[in-house]
Structure 1
Amino acid sequence: MKPSPYQIAAFTAAARERSFSKAAAVLGVTQSSITQHVAKLERLMGTLLFVRRRDGLELTPAAEELFQVSDRLRTLEQIIDEKVASYGALSAGHLRIIANAPRPALPVIAKYTQLHPQVQIDFSLYSWTIAMQKLHERDMDIAIITEPEVVEGVSLHEMSQTPYKLHVRRDYALAGRKAVSLADLNEEIVVMPEDGSFTQRIVDAKVKAAGLQLSRVIKTSTFPVVKEAVLHGVGVGIVLEDSLFPSNNLVALPIREMPETYRHCLVTPPYKRDLRLVRSFVDVALE
Structure 2
Amino acid sequence: MKPSPYQITAFTAAARERSFSKAAESLGVTQSSITQHVAKLEKIMGTLLFVRRRDGLELTPAAEELFQISDRLRTLEQLVDEKVASYGALSDGHLRIIANAPRPALPVIAAYTRLYPQVRIGFSLYSWTIAMQKLHERDMDIAIITEPEALEGVSIHEINQTPYKAHLRRDHPLAARKSLSLRDLAEETVIMPEDGSFTQRVVSAKTREHGIELSRVIKTSTFPVVKEAVLHGVGVGIVLEDSLFPSRHLVALPLKEMPEVYRHCLVTPPYKQDLRLVRSFLDVALQ
Ranges of 4+ aligned residues in structure 1 off by more than 3 Å: none
C-alpha displacement of 1:133: 0.4
Amino acid at match of 2:114: Q
Residues 118-143 of structure 1 show CA distances to partners (whole Å, capped at 9, x for unaligned) of 00000000000000000000000000
How far has the Cα of 1:86 moved from its partner?
2.0
Within-5 A mapping of 1:2-21: 2-21=2-21
Residue 215 of structure 1: CA displacement?
0.5
Q: Give the drift of 1:212.
A: 1.1
Match of 1:55 in 2: 55
Residue 137 of structure 2 aligns with which residue?
137
Question: Pairwise mapping of residues 14-33 of structure 1 onto structure 2 (< 5 A)?
Answer: 14-33=14-33
- CA RMSD across the alignment: 0.5
Q: Deviations over 1:40-62 (max 9, x none)?
A: 00000000000000010000000
Name the residue aligned to 1:91. Answer: 91
Aligned residues: 287
In 2: Cα distance, 1:26 partner to 1:153 partner: 27
- The amino acid across from 2:100 in the alignment is N
Partner of 1:209: 209
Matches within 5 A, 1:1-287: 1-287=1-287
Identity percentage of aligned residues: 84
Amino acid in structure 2 at the alignment position of 1:57: L
Residue type of the partner of 1:238? I
3-state DSSP class of the match of 2:174?
Answer: helix
Report the 3-state secondary structure (helix = DSSP H, G, I; strand = E; otherwise coil) of the residue aligned with 1:173: coil
Normalising by structure 1, we get a TM-score of 0.99
Shift in Å, 1:87: 2.8
Alignment partners' CA distance in 2, 1:65 and 1:163: 39
Equivalent residue letter for 2:202 = I
What's the CA shift for 1:264? 0.3
TM-score normalised by L of structure 2 = 0.99
